[in-house]
Structure 1
């Protein structure tokens, strides 16, 4: 457990630095801007395009450093534990959930984001969580619908639809 804690903190710390670096890139609409010009507020007082990802990356990096300090000083139960990171049940669950997530990512190309999300939620809630069909179907249909209205309609961020795209054309006609 001790080794897993510091390895996780290190990997997340590297990801934080990468996120901070990428969020400092000039935006596509202003490629001549200097790196990191977009992590503060612009002339109108609005946050720049890299503001949130950069500063959230800073917070995440600070959390990783704090975890490393606590690990070195052995202040947390995980930092003094000699137990294995995952037992056999933990590995089984990691592979079950991780396999489902990989399957979800692979079928987005064909089914589209919303249909893949519905399928993944049915798999996760019904078969891993062992909830009833009423709970499973209500959550598995509500989440993609809410995501569609939030991303595609409200934010105008079009997510991949795959072969299910013809089903969305009437919704675009109604709401856009």
Structure 2
């Protein structure tokens, strides 16, 4: 598992640096004109957090005693990772069609109930609360519109009430 930790941590660190470089194309500080963070603030700072976390994993892989350095992935772990990757790709493909507020809860439902086997209360509470939180956080608080796909006309009454 040490090799897997190191490879994945290095890949995440490289991806973090890539995201940080591209986030600096937009302002990453406080934007006085809009009274909020610049367009690159959240991608930059979240990428920095990801870089630090992956760096911690990489350091731990060198100083952690008693871990087996010879195995990378067994087949059951690889199947699990591939199932989640396929579900994420399907979710990303669905976002332009049905919108983020449908695609993300569908992924959460699949991940929590079907894949994870969690109970109905947890599954439904997270699946239903997440799009509400995302709407108020991104669209109302930050004024960042998420893709809505075919569901966009359903949001017109909400926009009329809130804006």
Do Structure 1 and Structure 2 share a fold, with TM-score over 0.5?
yes
List structure 1 runs of 4+ shifted beyond 4 angstroms.
38-43, 46-71
Partner of 2:4: 4
Structure 2, gaps ≥5 residues long: none
Partner of 2:95: 108
Partner of 1:32: none
Q: Distance between the aligned counterparts of 1:174 and 1:41, measured in 2? A: 28
Q: Distance between the aligned counterparts of 1:134 and 1:39, measured in 2? A: 39
Q: How well do the aligned residues superpose, as a CA RMSD in angstroms?
A: 3.0
8 Å CA contact 2:28–2:40 kept in 1: the answer is yes
**Alpha carbons of 1:119 and 1:59: their partners in 2 closer, same or farther (altered >3 Å)?**
closer
Which structure would you say has the larger RCO, counting Cα contacts within 8 Å and 6 or more residues apart? 2
Q: How does 1:1-176 map to 2 (within 5 A)?
A: 1-25=1-25, 27=26, 53-54=43-44, 57=47, 60-61=50-51, 64=54, 67-68=57-58, 71=61, 74-77=62-65, 80-176=67-163
TM-aligned CA deviation for residue 163 of structure 1 = 0.4
Q: TM-score, normalised by structure 2?
A: 0.78
- 1:4-62 deviations in whole A, cap 9, x for unaligned? 2222232222223323322333x3xxxxxxxxxx567889xx97665665566556545
**Alpha carbons of 1:132 and 1:68: their partners in 2 closer, same or farther (altered >3 Å)?**
closer
Aligned residues: 161
